[in-house]
Amino acid sequence: MLKLLQNEWMKLWSKKGTWIMAGLMVILILGLAGIMKWSESLAGDEPDNWKAAVQGELEGDKASLESGLLKGESKRLAEERVMVNDYRLANDTAPLQDISREMMIYDPSVGSIALLLTVIVAAGIVASEFSQGTIKMLLTRPVKRWKIMTSKYIAVLLFGILLMLIGFAVTILSAYVLFSPGGGQALAVSGGKVVEVSVWSHGLYMLLLSFANVIITATFAFMIGSVFRSNGMAIGLSLFIYFTGSIVVALLSRFEIVKYLLFTHMDLTMYETDFRLNDDITLPFSLAVLAVYLVIFLIVSYSVFTKRDITA
């Protein structure tokens, strides 16, 4: 199996496109940081008035809690925000600045770029064997088809992980080169108490959460690519669900079924922000739903691939 994986990895990196993608990852992250730097210079030196902002947020949350309109997760989030903001004012602890070295590491935005590029690889890794005609060479070896399929899937996952790590490394680098430390402290509520959060552990946690989206979307692309043997179709459909997912959720939000749709759960980083697509879902529930979809996608991919007659 290790040899098969070696093969897939060799094929992957023998293609120019893969190097271009890795390069693109670096360039896009740097570009994003550059744009942030530029917008920072536009904003100018406004006096830092975090206390007023925290006070304003605190009053808003209290008002909406009293109105009784919030329920479920939204209510819990508002309560937590109140706790954190009370703590900030009481202890004179400033939040992280929006544009600062810490903020870049606290919330690294590498997930969506890594996702797009991993989807391209996932879509092509099986489909291209068919379009190049090499599938006949590959499957007339003393190796069972499911093993070949597994080596390909693992190669996709490794590629995704590698891209995330490259992205994070470049993010850290640009954070240190372009931005000055902004001070402030990230806080969170844990076990009913307000605790300080390290930007590093939170950054890694965000990477992990966004990697779930990379996996599920790439697995979808992998499935379409191996069922329809069409690279373009796999990329197209995957990006379509990636971009239209939240619209579908919004349209169906009145119905119970929305809780079980893939789209509702694809972006797990929502659990670290204040925005929820749906008030009734929690992280473990999302993970469970994602796992079910993942297994279905893999079963479809494997069973089609191992049973198919190669006629092309």
Partner 1 sequence: MERTPIVELKNLSKTIHGKKIIDDVSLLLYPGQITGFLGPNGAGKTTTIRMMVGLMKKSGGDVVIDGQTLSADFEEAMSKVGVIVENPEMYKFMTGYKNLLHFARMHKGVTKERIDEVVRQVGMQNRIHEKVGTYSLGMRQRLGLAQALLHRPKFLILDEPTNGLDPAGIREFRQYLRMIAETEGVSVFVSSHMLSEIELMCDRIAVIQNGKLVDIRDVRETRESHYYIEAAPAEKAAVLLRTAGFETEPLESGVVIQAEKAQIPAVVQELSAEGLDIFAIQPHRRTLEDEFLELTGGGQLAETAAK
The size of the chain, in residues, is 312
Site for partner 1 contains 14 (CB under 8 A):
yes
CB of 304 to partner 1, least distance (A): 13
Among positions 96-135, residues that touch partner 1 (CB under 8 A) are 132-134
Among 43, 53, 63, 137, binds partner 1 (CB under 8 A): 137
Among 34, 51, 53, 136, binds partner 1 (CB under 8 A): 136
| Residue (51 or 141) nearer to partner 1, CB | 141
Site for partner 1 contains 140 (CB under 8 A):
yes
Among 16, 41, 67, 275, binds partner 1 (CB under 8 A): 16
Nearest Cα to 104, choosing from 195, 183, 203, 196?
A: 203
Distance CA 226, CA 129 (A): 10
Distance CA 312, CA 301 (A): 19
Distance CA 25, CA 310 (A): 36
Beta bridge partners of 186: 197
15 φ/ψ sector (left φ>0, alpha ψ -120 to 50, else beta): beta
Nearest Cα to 148, choosing from 163, 164, 132, 134?
A: 134
CB of 9 to partner 1, least distance (A): 11
Among 11, 62, 76, 276, binds partner 1 (CB under 8 A): 11
List Cα–Cα distances, 225 to 84, 231, 234, in angstroms. Answer: 46, 6, 5
CB of 129 to partner 1, least distance (A): 9
Site for partner 1 contains 1 (CB under 8 A):
no
Element spanning 136, H or E: helix 135-139
The region of 9-17, 41-49, 230-238, 259-267 touching partner 1 under the rule CB under 8 A is 9-17
CB of 136 to partner 1, least distance (A): 5
Residues that bind partner 1 (CB under 8 A): 3-4, 6-7, 10-11, 14-16, 132-134, 136-144, 307, 309-311
